[in-house]
Structure 1
Amino acid sequence: MIEYPLPVLDAATRERFETALYGLMAYRELTAFERLSSDARFSPTLADRDALARLAVEEFRHYELVRERIAAAGRDPQAAMEPFVASIDALHERTRPGDWFESLMKAYVIDSVSGDFYQAIALALDEEARVLVSEVQSIDAQTLWLRERLHDALGDDPRLGSRLALWGRRLLGEALTQARRIGDRHAFWDTLIPMPPGPERDARVAKLFARLVENHSRRMGDLGLTA
């Protein structure tokens, strides 16, 4: 996703950057677990309930992986997550689903866009960190099940299409806005893009976000929906 030279970070900068990214990821995984667990209770079938519960368990496993990495580095996982609690909680408050299918679309969009963003940010870290981020953000199985379930629902009720397409656009906007604010507030761009603030750096950040939109458009196209 990043097509320009990445920075060589000194130890202190790398530690701050890594702690921020891990804290962000850990809290997102924890809230994803909570959200999917809650959504599972409203599933229309036992098969759906089983599938969402399994996805929730996987999200919690990812949370534990990141939490353990933070702790192994001698840092406090709660302290690492705390700076991101308000923004992630606010995102979920702004994107409350209206029904179970909107819940599935929320997971399909928010989790995928977040995963793309974290993997792009992690390119500034060493290979060990990138491997962890890749493992935690590897949501192929989750995305496949969500896509198939949503595709089936759209086939059964074509009226869902326009509503879920509109909902997907709103979710994308919220996810991109949050990612931009977090990148600005926690100096991710200063570390990821080795140049002073200005038009060129802004253009490179914009290119990163354009890739996020392209990936989202492809995933929506897989559902037969327009992004």
Structure 2
Amino acid sequence: MTHTDSALRDALFGLMAYRELTTFERLSSDARFSPRLADRAELARLAVAEFEHFEVVCAELVAAGRDPQEAMLPFVEVIDELHERTRPGDWHESLMKAYVLDSVVADVYRALGARIGDQADRVAQRIQELDAQATWLTERLRADLDNERLRSRLALWGRRLMGEALTRSRSLLATTVFGTLLSPQEEKELFAQLVRHHAQRMSALGLTA
């Protein structure tokens, strides 16, 4: 592995680590507002899984001789800004945020990991196994979407979340080491893929992207 490859790998792991840590914090906090104990337990379970992901990536960084805190620092501003601009107003908006943003981030992780190399790709795939989470979020949101006012509100919220996710992802690629990773055409294709996948996920809820 060249110096450039290892720098890209460690940067991706730093991004993953901080994103997983903040997602753990968010889900832990949101669980308090769950309307049912069963929902609270499920969100807590998802939060624990995110913290386990954080520990996995930190272990990879330590094994590579990197300080996890140092590796995370370049990504604090962009991720914190994304969370600040997408503060949910209630329980349903919180679930929608997890449903939309976590899936977009998973797509970005996989795209970057696939281009950086086998180790990065393997770790990206390992910590973004979202089937169980996506299934529960889809079913839980669907359960309440017979309310037309809620449907309209969450469709609008989903569009806002996606817009913010695309803006922050572009900023990430423009202002960090990842800017050297994708050609203009590859970046264009990645964002087209993000939009397609988002439309498919919204369709799964019966909502317009």
**TM-score computed with the length of structure 1 as normaliser:** 0.89
Deviation at 1:131, TM superposition (A): 1.2
Residue number among 171, 179, 184 corresponding to 2:174 in the alignment: 184
Write out aligned runs for 1:1-227 (5 A). Answer: 11-155=2-146, 157-191=147-181, 193=182, 201-227=183-209
Deviation at 1:130, TM superposition (A): 1.0
CA contact (8 A) 1:154 1:161 kept: yes
Deviation at 1:128, TM superposition (A): 2.6
Deviation at 1:101, TM superposition (A): 0.3
CA contact (8 A) 1:176 1:209 kept: yes
Deviation at 1:187, TM superposition (A): 3.3
**Deviating more after overlay: 120-129 vs 22-31:** 120-129
Deviation at 1:159, TM superposition (A): 1.6
CA contact (8 A) 2:31 2:41 kept: yes
Partner AA of 1:131 in structure 2: R
CA contact (8 A) 2:99 2:138 kept: yes
Partner AA of 1:187 in structure 2: V
Partner AA of 1:210 in structure 2: A
Instruction: Please give the root-mean-square deviation of Cα atoms over the aligned residues, in Å.
Output: 1.1
Higher-helix-fraction structure: 2
CA contact (8 A) 1:189 1:205 kept: no
Deviations 1:30-66 (A, max 9, x none): 0000000000010000000010000000000001000
What is the match of residue 3 of structure 1? none
Partner AA of 1:168 in structure 2: G
Deviation at 1:132, TM superposition (A): 1.1
Deviation at 1:203, TM superposition (A): 3.0
Partner AA of 1:138 in structure 2: E
Runs of 4+ in 1 over 3 A off after TM superposition: none
Unaligned runs of 5+ in 2: none
Partner AA of 2:44 in structure 1: A
Secondary structure of the residue aligned to 1:154 is: coil
Q: How many residues align?
A: 209
CA distance in structure 2 between the partners assigned to 1:124 and 1:205 by the alignment: 12
Partner AA of 1:86 in structure 2: E
CA distance in structure 2 between the partners assigned to 1:159 and 1:144 by the alignment: 23
Q: Which has the larger radius of gyration?
A: 1
Secondary structure of the residue aligned to 1:153 is: coil
CA contact (8 A) 2:11 2:177 kept: no
CA distance in structure 2 between the partners assigned to 1:203 and 1:136 by the alignment: 27
CA distance in structure 1 between the partners assigned to 2:159 and 2:115 by the alignment: 29
CA distance in structure 2 between the partners assigned to 1:41 and 1:160 by the alignment: 21
**TM-score computed with the length of structure 2 as normaliser:** 0.97
Q: Percent identity?
A: 57
Deviation at 1:89, TM superposition (A): 0.8
